Amino acid sequence: MPLNRKRALRKARRKRKGAIPINPIVSFRLRLVFAILFCGLLGLMGRMASLQVIQANELETKARALQTQKIKPLGTRRSIVDRNGRLIALDEERFRLWAHPRYFNFPGDAPTYIRNPVDVAYKLSAPLSMPVSDVINLLGDRSSGVKLAEDIDHEIASKIRSLGISGLDLEAYPQRVYPRGSLFANVVGFLNQDRIPQAGLEQSLNKKLVRKEKARNLRRGADGTPLPDDLAPGVLYKDDLQLHLTLDARLQELATNALSDQVQAWNAKKGVAIVMDVTNGELLALASTPTYNPNRYWKYSPSLFREWSVQDLFEPGSTFKPINLALALEEGVINKNGTVNDPGKVVIGGWPIYNHDRRPNGVIDFSTVLQVSSNVGMVNVMRQMQPARYWDWLHRLGLDVRPQTDLPGALAGHLKGKEEFVSQPIEPAVASYGQGFSLTPLKLVQLHALIANGGHLVRPHITRGLQSQAGLSTPSKKNTYPLISPEVTEVVLRWMEAVVESGSGTGVKTPGYRIGGKTGTAEKVVNGAYQQGVKICSFVANLPIESPRYVVLVVVDEPKGEDAYGSTVAVPVAKKIIDGLLVLEQIPPSTENSGLKPAKG
């Protein structure tokens, strides 16, 4: 290579290795870049201002919609419990299983893969306890909205969820359950399949039994935890109120069993047993038979859904005689040491009236009148009272007035009009031994409570109100007013005690306890006329006599048999109830020298 060319190449290399000359930046470009960045910053600030100021409310609403869960109420009802907190009625969460075959997919399947309904049927057969063929038939060829089962409990629902099958939907709903079965059906009633109350307290106290629930919006975090801010007051409140009854499940069961056995033994039409606290009107037992199971109400006749102890009238017969004697004492037409003549027959207005055994008893005291259940003696006692005054007393006792009670469907009794009662001598005559008028068993209990508590008329009831689950309910407040003097009721109680000691009520005698009572055997009115051999047998008891606290009434309708009387049909039931009552309420034995002290209302 020529020497000059080599020198030229070395000079070029030295030139490349040297510093690169910097050309000055054009001021226009600098301003353009600055303007672009400034505009971008202004746009970002404007956008932030728009989001945080102008669109803040709209964006907050959308965010809350995503964060908020709307909790819809299931429409549950409050539980019902007895006086000791034992459950009588409650709502349990159950589930309906819906199937959507077009979405059937098993865990691990490709998201777009749709399973054959047969595959799902094999999976569901075991938890549903159904043959595979039945599940397949239910699924049919529908693509969605197929109801496979209902009344599914939590255990089975959990098994179905654990399968992880897409296309299955468990819908929760409340179901009314009655753990005691038929024991309280006559009082509580039931809900039909549409959860509409059909009878009993479920119907009469429907508004009180519906829980106060509303749809609620609850904000939650990403993990489902309720957010502490913006919680509305009471959003997590749970209505735990229960309806507390005065009834005792133990005594109710004892009374129901004793009554059912006796009704079956005598092939009777029906029966009722009532236990009342005479101081405040609380019912500890209200049993009737025949009855029904409210959990399977559709299997029974609708005629069983009514409580006949408050909805059917009957003539009380001899169980009303103590009430009449109390009225005669109060009016002063007899005195406690007096007597009455019983010739065995008396004719009133052309109508002959006999004793039940057609035998005369001669001159007897009023204690004996009750012991032998003298009809003629009672007619001669009440003839001494003016008919108008007698009718006024029956009206004051409320025979023709609906009793104030929380028992649904309670009826007023039937009493002849005053003009007819006064103008027809036979009317006060038959009323003297408990016929010619009618009342409900509940009303008869109320009137005998008046004798037991010193002359106060109490309000019979079976509810203590709504209270929290935290504790037991307290006894009802006394709600009474006086009608008869305590001195009069004290005398009548002693006469009733003689019936148990020496009369037709001896079947309830209990060693160590003083008990008063009165039996009744009345011919039944059928189609407006008395039917011979068709009877209503009853027995009422007050205890303990030295300080009365409870009234027990047993009524059995149409027992079959010639020897069907209050002493043979009703007394044995009352005996079992009284024995249980003495134990459950821990009533101490009576003392021989204890004085008679009627409980004050």
- Residues with a known catalytic role: 318
Angle at 65 between CA 59 and CA 71, to 5 degrees: 160
Contact 478, 600 (CB under 8 A): no
- How many other β-carbons are positioned within 10 Å of the β-carbon of residue 144? 12
Cα–Cα dist 340/372, whole Å: 13
Torsion of CA 217, 218, 223, 227, to 10 degrees: 140
293 vs 180: CA distance, rounded Å? 9
Helices (H) and strands (E) in the chain, counts: 20, 19
Question: Quick one: which H or E segment has residue 460?
Answer: none
From CA 286, how far away is CA 271, in angstroms rounded? 11
The two structure tokens encoding residue 593:
């020298």
CA distance 281 to 475: 10
SS3 string, 357-416, reads CCCCCEEEEHHHHHHCCCHHHHHHHHCCCCHHHHHHHHHHCCCCCCCCCCCCCCCCCECC
Cα-based distances in Å from 387 to 394, 405, 423: 11, 30, 9
Task: Using alpha carbons, list the distances in angstroms from residue 39 to 35, 50, 108.
Answer: 6, 16, 52
Q: Is the sign of the CA dihedral 259, 264, 268, 269 positive or negative?
A: positive
